[in-house]
Structure 1
Amino acid sequence: MAWQRRDQRRTCAVTARKDVFELPTQANNANIGLRLSRECLDALEANLTPTRWQKFWDTCGKTAGAGFAALDAITGEDVTEARKYEGAAAPRRDDEAKGGKMDLSSRDGKIVGIARGEMREQFMVGCEDFIRWSHHVAGYELTDSGVRAIFADGSKSEEGEMLVGGEGIYSKVAKQVSNGKIVTYDTGARGIHGKVSTSAFKELGEGVWRVTDERKKDGKVFLITNVRANDMDDPTVEFGWTMGAQPGVIHPPNEDYAIIGKPAADIAKSLTKDWHPKLKPLFDNMNEAEAAFSKITCSTPTGVPDWPNQPRVTVIGDAAHSMTPAGGIGANTAVRDAALLGRLLVEAGGYREGITETYEREMRVYASEAVRSSYAGAKMQFGVHIDENSPRVHV
């Protein structure tokens, strides 16, 4: 939740004081690995100081290779060529057929990634004294000369010039500012995130791996992980993996996605009990305390809707456009949002009427394309389908 004070003309990412902006509870998804695209890295480098950028870049993991290497979960066989176009849109297939190359590399021929928690820590540097956890934003109210955030306990923030809702798929700000037009659907697909010592990845080796088990009676199970060579010899380092499954396969107890630890670990181990021996250490030796469930959601597949602009309030990231894990473009699009909005504020010297309108107009173009691409990939990979009758995530 970003907030700009009238007296400071300052926009930050997080803060503790009610006169700037506040965060909900700490998420349990800090260990989810994010692949950073070229566009995302360019936006970060352009908006961070050289020193901050270098520190961020040094924190990122770099993996050699141009794209996913696909494995059959049961046999352990390399099926990369057979899965080359799985989930790919027709333009990508056509481009490669003409001799073009579509890959996941970000810079210097490397696939660049970072854990969500590590990225958050990097962005919070300098704002630590302004962060207060466990404050849930219930909405906002406009004043004669600004805007106030309203919190779930009934308290309100000090008046500010601008409010930016970035509180995810359950964003009350998004619901209010769009008058309910921003809709997030529950695809029915579920995921589990886990961590394990690098020693468990010895049999896999360096690369970005996608493992698929299509032999489950109730639906396909897949796993994605990124193994960096430089950390392979340090058993104190843990790599993360993300498991996903088609609707109906993964069932968190009581559909409670706040549950972490052994319940999630036990389900992951059960689903992979017949996997190839070189993959089993990822689950047999996992850090059970770090296991967590996730719900795979997606915004309206046709793209980000239009809503009457509110000059002092807008939304970024999942609050504006939730995406499936397919393609790994959700976080990259959120960073692009922040970079665009930040640039507009800098160019205007602070808040000016028209900034949110310009931001939303430009954001809708690239974000809508990203949502459509993410949904198309999810239809192929996860077997999901969304229409107007699909269940929605209630805000």
Structure 2
Amino acid sequence: MAQKPILISGGGLSALLIAQSLRRHNIPFQIYERDASFDIRGNGYRLRLSSEGLDAIESVLTPEHFQRFYDKCGKTGGTGFTAYDAISGAQTEHRDATEVATLASRGGKVVGIARGEMRRIFYEGCEEHTHWGKNVIKYELTPDGVQLVFSDGTKSPEGSMLICADGVHSKLAKQLSDGKLKVYDTGARGIHGQAYTTAFKELGEGVFTFRDTSRPEGDLFVITNVRSQDMDDPTIQFGWTLAAPGAVVQAPNNDYTIVGKQAADLAKSLTANWGPRFKPLFDQMVESEAAFWKITCSSPNGVPEWTNQPRVTVVGDSVHSMTPAGGIGANTAVQDCALLGRLIGEAGGYKEGITAAYEKEMRVYGGAAVKRSYESARASMGIGELVDTI
């Protein structure tokens, strides 16, 4: 009898990386994603990869696949970390790369990659197993498996188990945890933008932050990473991330799905009086790439416990949503995929006890990661107490 596939809900980074793990172990899988196509969603900002994150990705992908991935990553050394007053241009802090051990990933370099590029590489080989335009609303257990139920009333074929990787708004995560998995609004808001390398020439190489303390509503904070190997190619774009309290960054009609000119215009307005070394990042931004975002986070008090379901579990933002601080969320998500994929691979497919073993270990490192992400964002982005769920 043919082995029933493992069902994966979602088509983002976590979903595709866990699929790669199953693919490498020759375990059948099917991916169900609500987007109509691969390119419909905004792929967002650039991610900094930790040594743990890189190790996890390398353990999942084949050596050849990982090399293609790593070749696409930017590697930054240079001046290390430097902070500036955004308006006066005065340097407020500097640490050499050797002093910021948490920044470096491999070979003393800061390693990063655009989310879209990372997602495209993780998608390789998954094309024929992916079903687009499938809006999952719940799952149903069968006597010998599990099925997904879609918003149009149809159902997926029966799977041996289900991995929920459908992000912060996951209905499946709430169903599995009986509502215990919650995502909170931090009150902070952001804009991601990109500009061609020529806009970054005055900065040099390194990791840079700019802080504008001129507003009574709260500070405006920007971080960017300039890498030397791409510096002289004017066709390449570098990214930056801007964050501030909601009173400073307000999307039209409170719609944080807006991308393009409206987000770009607000970023330019907010940085209009910034120093001449920094203004080109915003004045010369690629307007179509600008995007608002609402900064959310799971509880920093630990990943909650729920009654284990042997055939269903959760990975990534569905179980531990984090702020953008330090790229901790993505690095933790890929660790989920490496751990769960290894357990399934060692068992040769679904086996009772896998989800319990995975969740026990994930709660330890996942809970610690959410706490680090939250505390880092409080220090750098001025977010407050978590109150409202989303």
| Partner of residue 24, structure 1 | 34
The C-alpha deviation readout for 1:114-163, integer Å capped at 9, x for no partner, is: 01111111110001223333322111000010001111222111000111
Matched residue SS, 1:160: coil
| Partner of residue 147, structure 1 | 146
| Partner of residue 12, structure 2 | none
Unaligned runs of 5+ in 2: 9-14, 21-28
Letter in 2 for 1:168: G
| Partner of residue 306, structure 1 | 305
Structure 2 contact 6–161 (Cα < 8 Å) conserved = no
Letter in 2 for 1:62: K
Alpha-carbon offset, residue 8 of structure 1:
5.2
| Partner of residue 369, structure 1 | 368
| Partner of residue 104, structure 1 | 103
Letter in 1 for 2:179: G
The C-alpha deviation readout for 1:241-285, integer Å capped at 9, x for no partner, is: 111112311111111122111110011001000000111111111
Letter in 1 for 2:357: T
| Partner of residue 45, structure 1 | 58
Matched residue SS, 2:282: helix
Matched residue SS, 2:160: strand
Q: For the structure 1 residues 66 and 284, does the alpha-carbon distance in structure 2 shift closer, same or farther, using more than 3 Å as the test? A: closer
| Partner of residue 180, structure 1 | 179
1:246-395, aligned counterparts within 5 Å? 246-387=245-386, 390-393=387-390
Please give the alpha-carbon distance, in whole angstroms, between the structure 2 residues aligned to 1:6 and 1:322. Answer: 32
| Partner of residue 7, structure 1 | 4
Please give the alpha-carbon distance, in whole angstroms, between the structure 1 residues aligned to 2:383 and 2:338. Answer: 31
Q: For the structure 1 residues 188 and 300, does the alpha-carbon distance in structure 2 shift closer, same or farther, using more than 3 Å as the test? A: same
Structure 1 contact 165–173 (Cα < 8 Å) conserved = yes
Alpha-carbon offset, residue 66 of structure 1:
7.9
Letter in 2 for 1:21: I
Unaligned runs of 5+ in 1: 85-98
Q: For the structure 1 residues 66 and 128, does the alpha-carbon distance in structure 2 shift closer, same or farther, using more than 3 Å as the test? A: farther
Please give the alpha-carbon distance, in whole angstroms, between the structure 2 residues aligned to 1:273 and 1:350. Answer: 56
The C-alpha deviation readout for 1:82-138, integer Å capped at 9, x for no partner, is: xx7xxxxxxxxxxxxxx9864310000100000111111111000122333332211
CA RMSD of aligned residues (A): 2.0
% identical equivalent positions:
55
Please give the alpha-carbon distance, in whole angstroms, between the structure 2 residues aligned to 1:212 and 1:205. Answer: 18
Q: For the structure 1 residues 223 and 28, does the alpha-carbon distance in structure 2 shift closer, same or farther, using more than 3 Å as the test? A: farther
Q: For structure 1, which segment, 193-202 or 126-135, has the greater mean C-alpha deviation from structure 2 after superposition?
A: 126-135
Q: For the structure 1 residues 130 and 8, does the alpha-carbon distance in structure 2 shift closer, same or farther, using more than 3 Å as the test? A: closer
Please give the alpha-carbon distance, in whole angstroms, between the structure 2 residues aligned to 1:194 and 1:383. Answer: 20
Please give the alpha-carbon distance, in whole angstroms, between the structure 1 residues aligned to 2:382 and 2:302. Answer: 20
Letter in 2 for 1:7: K
Alpha-carbon offset, residue 380 of structure 1:
1.8
Q: For the structure 1 residues 159 and 66, does the alpha-carbon distance in structure 2 shift closer, same or farther, using more than 3 Å as the test? A: farther
Alpha-carbon offset, residue 378 of structure 1:
1.8
Matched residue SS, 1:44: helix
Please give the alpha-carbon distance, in whole angstroms, between the structure 1 residues aligned to 2:281 and 2:99. Answer: 35
Structure 1 contact 20–158 (Cα < 8 Å) conserved = no
TM-score, with structure 1 as normaliser:
0.89
Please give the alpha-carbon distance, in whole angstroms, between the structure 1 residues aligned to 2:332 and 2:80. Answer: 20
| Partner of residue 84, structure 2 | 71
2:36 counterpart of 1:36: no
Please give the alpha-carbon distance, in whole angstroms, between the structure 2 residues aligned to 1:28 and 1:274. Answer: 32
